[in-house]
Amino acid sequence: MIHKLTIPIFHEEIAPRFDLATEVLIILLSTGNIIEEKKTIVLPRSSADDLCHLLLAENINTIICGAIEEEYYQFLKWKKIDVYDSVAGKWSKAFDRWQKKCLNSGDILSERSIEGKNV
Amino acid sequence: MINLPHPYVQDLMKDPLNFEHMIDEIPIGVLILDMDRRVVFLNRAFEAMSGFSPLMAHGVQCHNILRSAACISNCPVLSGKDDNRSICCESDMINLDRQRLPIRMTNAPILDNNNNIKGFIETIEDIRNIQKLDGEKSAAYSFANIVGRSPQMEKIFQTLPVLAQSDSSILITGETGTGKDLVAEAIHQTSSRESGPFIKINCGALPETLLESEIFGHQKGAFTGAVENKPGRFKLAHNGTIFLTEIGDLPLPLQVKLLTFLDDKIIYPLGSTKGFKANVRIIAATHRNLEQMVAANRFRKDLLFRLNVARIHLPPLRDREGDIRLLIDYFFNNYRQQLDKNINGFSKDSLMVLLNYRYEGNIRELKNIVEYAVNVSTGSSIEPHQLPSYLFDSPLANAEPDQFATEAISFEYKDDGLPTSATADNHIDTKQTWPSVQRKMILDALTKTNGKKNEAAKILGWGRSTLWRKMKLYNILS
């Protein structure tokens, strides 16, 4: 069975805001979480409504994103999309965690440092 | 494990001063960033606004914590970096409660003794109250963002401003989706505590052990994993309002602790013997019948008496005479503008369906239905097949039909400028039931398509098997 996962991205990171993302990564996975296809869609403008339309049109099953407003969160939930929100850090790390079934909403996966020193 | 610093301010007074305590007492959010815009420190006001604790944010890039539109489009820190100036801008942020807050951010560099930039200080002000001074507040048939003109709601609109000005505890009851959260926030925004924080706790969302630490806070080392002092939501709500939603789901041991707080207004964080005198107004809400829970020994009677100083009961939507139509129009206009759609409104048949539906999920459900319909509609008006299909399938749709049918015709007997259209149409048969309407819809569709079931099913927005099942149900099959 094909599972479709999407991550709104900002360079290599998960976009901090769902409504301000202009780039979306879509990953198609077959049974056993094998990556079948990976594509990036560049949106003409940032809009939470347009992004929701895109997710429905693409039949997305799971989304990993940064900050999202309650209204859109509930809408996506209502549309039976699994939402992992408030996740920060590199999208590859978040995807890896999701595959290992240990990703939670609110996970901060970015490296922590102060004045160049890891903390 | 992350070790949070406990910085001091040297040379300002004779003894070193506790910096953490100093910025915690500032009533607006403060973020201290290093040169790479990573969070070094944040104060209690920012924690209350954003939901991020100092430990969660420590060492993380500020755009992942502040989550403001300005961080992405035009970072004020970068703009003012080169010429050592402070920059003020208005933007918005989305907090961990998924709320979008309008904010005013002021950013300034932090300099060392030789005037070299060593980091940045950012202050974040919640400007919801300033923005609310616009026309929205004076909109007809509404209080803050609550819309309604039924006699029941008018009575509530008259009571709310009076209750908001008092400092008494308030208990809001009502079914799910009736707007309890909105009322609580409206009370806070119109009270003298409006400049203070409004902190919401969902008593049903967390397990008992976590809830205690979340509400009352904990002392470092109080239990395994308590690596820092946590202020707790009561402390964060100091000088503001705390909103305990789903209070009926609060476990009994915590009810005792809450009761103690209501008596002496002092909170004792988990593992601490030192209390904190919190100046907090309590608003509680629940969809449960607390009196019944008291009778079943699942809720403490004395807590109910303390919370029930003033009670606001929000009626279910089906009992709010005339409000369904008003809210349909309100949400329709909102979504039409938001989605930039050129739709005139709902067709007579669609309105009939909407006005006769039971709305178990109340306003939240109605809002979702209208949003869906506006989204999927492509023509100039919204037809029944563009409404969510469960409206037709649900047994609730035809439950107690007589009671709901009156909603649709109630406007006819009123002379107070209520909206007309379908509700006032003369052709609506008041004795019609939902099955009879549905039977008529099927027959109309079949007539239009010369009996072709496939095309009729498309018009109705159903699958062919649903149409066949319903035709069988209404004895349309020859």
Task: Determine the distance from the C-alpha atom of residue B274 to the mean position of all C-alpha atoms in its chain, rounded to a whole number.
Answer: 34
Contact A67 B94 (CB under 8 A): yes
Please indicate if any CB of chain A lies within 8 Å of the CB of B182. no
Closest residue in B to A111 (Cα–Cα) = B60
Cα–Cα distance for residue pair B32/B120, rounded to 1 Å: 6
Please indicate if any CB of chain A lies within 8 Å of the CB of B104. no
For B386-409, write each residue's pLDDT tens digit. Answer: 898 888 875 544 444 333 333 332
B-chain residues near A116 (CB < 8 A):
36
Report the pLDDT averaged over residues A109-119: 90
Please indicate if any CB of chain B lies within 8 Å of the CB of A54. no
Closest residue in A to B41 (Cα–Cα) = A114
Please indicate if any CB of chain B lies within 8 Å of the CB of A89. yes
Q: Which residue has the higher pLDDT, B366 or B428?
A: B366
Whole-number pLDDT of residue B46 = 94
For B251-298, write each residue's pLDDT tens digit. Answer: 888 898 888 888 888 888 888 888 888 889 999 999 999 999 999 888
Task: Answer yes or no: are the C-beta atoms of B66 and B47 closer than 8 Å.
Answer: no
Contact B100 A69 (CB under 8 A): yes
Q: Which residue has the higher pLDDT, A82 or B211?
A: A82
Q: Which long-range contacts (CB under 8 A, 24 or more apart) does A73-79 make?
A: A73/B98, A75/B368, A75/B371, A76/A52, A78/B368, A79/A55
Question: What count of CB pairs under 8 Å joins A to B?
Answer: 73
Whole-number pLDDT of residue B127 = 86
Closest residue in B to A66 (Cα–Cα) = B64
Task: Answer yes or no: are the C-beta atoms of A88 and A66 closer than 8 Å.
Answer: yes
Whole-number pLDDT of residue A74 = 92
Nearest by CB: B67 against A16, A89, A111: A16
CA A108 → CA A95, B25, B56, distances in Å? 13, 27, 8
B-chain residues near A68 (CB < 8 A):
94, 98
Q: Does residue A108 surpass a pLDDT of 90?
A: yes
Contact A16 B71 (CB under 8 A): yes
A-chain residues near B336 (CB < 8 A):
none
A-chain residues near B73 (CB < 8 A):
20
For A14-32, write each residue's pLDDT tens digit. Answer: 999 999 999 999 999 998 8
3-state secondary structure of A64: strand
Q: Does residue B350 surpass a pLDDT of 80?
A: yes
Helices A48-57 and A70-78 sit at what angle, rounded to 10 degrees?
Answer: 10
Whole-number pLDDT of residue B400 = 42
Q: Does residue B82 surpass a pLDDT of 80?
A: no
Whole-number pLDDT of residue B394 = 55
A-chain residues near B71 (CB < 8 A):
16
For B170-212, write each residue's pLDDT tens digit. Answer: 999 999 999 999 899 889 988 888 878 899 988 887 777 788 8
* Average pLDDT in chain B: 82
Q: Which residue has the higher pLDDT, B256 or A68?
A: A68
Nearest by CB: B59 against A19, A49, A119: A119
Closest residue in A to B71 (Cα–Cα) = A16
Query: ipTM more than 0.90?
Result: yes
Report the pLDDT averaged over residues B316-344: 87
Report the pLDDT averaged over residues B88-113: 89
Distance from the Cα of A32 to chain B's closest Cα (Å) equals 32
Contact A17 B35 (CB under 8 A): no
Cα–Cα distance for residue pair B56/A110, rounded to 1 Å: 11
Number of H helices, E strands in chain A: 3, 8
3-state secondary structure of B168: coil
pLDDT band, very low/low/confident/very high, at B478 (cuts 50, 70, 90): low
A-chain residues near B2 (CB < 8 A):
112, 119
Contact B34 A114 (CB under 8 A): yes
Concatenated DSSP letters for B355-408?
HH---TTHHHHHHHHHHHHHHH--SSEE-GGGS-THHHH-GGGGSSHHHHHHHH
Closest residue in B to A10 (Cα–Cα) = B72
Whole-number pLDDT of residue A105 = 94
Helices of type H across B265-322: 290-295, 301-307
Report the pLDDT averaged over residues A71-99: 94
* Range of lowest pLDDT (B118-122, B188-192, B310-314): B188-192
Place of tokens 């939902």: B434
Helices of type H across B68-179: 69-73, 76-81, 128-131, 151-165
Closest residue in A to B372 (Cα–Cα) = A75
Report the pLDDT averaged over residues A83-95: 95
A-chain residues near B100 (CB < 8 A):
69
Distance from the Cα of B37 to chain A's closest Cα (Å) equals 9
Give percent of chain A above pLDDT 70: 100
Q: Which residue has the higher pLDDT, A75 or B418?
A: A75
Distance from the Cα of B58 to chain A's closest Cα (Å) equals 7
Report the pLDDT averaged over residues A57-85: 94
Mutate to test the interface with A, among B33, B52, B61 (most CBs of A within 10 A): B61
Cα–Cα distance for residue pair B272/B253, rounded to 1 Å: 17
Contact B69 A75 (CB under 8 A): no
Task: Answer yes or no: are the C-beta atoms of B338 and A49 closer than 8 Å.
Answer: yes
Contact B60 A66 (CB under 8 A): no
Q: How many C-alpha atoms does B347 have within 13 Å on its Cβ side?
A: 14
Nearest by CB: A115 against B35, B93, B100: B35
0.90 cut: is pTM over it?
no
Closest residue in A to B56 (Cα–Cα) = A108
B104: CB partners within 8 A, 6+ apart: B88, B89, B90, B124, B125, B127
Report the pLDDT averaged over residues B152-172: 88
Beta bridge partners of B313: B173
B152: CB partners within 8 A, 6+ apart: B315, B319, B320, B321
B-chain residues near A20 (CB < 8 A):
69, 72-73
Q: Does residue A71 surpass a pLDDT of 50?
A: yes
Closest residue in A to B63 (Cα–Cα) = A16
Contact B98 A85 (CB under 8 A): yes
pLDDT band, very low/low/confident/very high, at B419 (cuts 50, 70, 90): very low
* Average pLDDT in chain A: 93
Task: Answer yes or no: are the C-beta atoms of A3 and A62 closer than 8 Å.
Answer: yes
Whole-number pLDDT of residue B139 = 53
Q: Which residue has the higher pLDDT, A4 or B135?
A: A4
Whole-number pLDDT of residue B404 = 33
Contact B371 A86 (CB under 8 A): no
Cα–Cα distance for residue pair B313/B320, rounded to 1 Å: 12
Whole-number pLDDT of residue B2 = 65
Please indicate if any CB of chain B lies within 8 Å of the CB of A61. no
Number of H helices, E strands in chain B: 22, 18
Nearest by CB: B64 against A49, A75, A108: A108
Mutate to test the interface with A, among B67, B182, B369 (most CBs of A within 10 A): B67
Q: Does residue B4 surpass a pLDDT of 80?
A: no
Please indicate if any CB of chain A lies within 8 Å of the CB of B379. no
Q: Does residue B158 surpass a pLDDT of 60?
A: yes
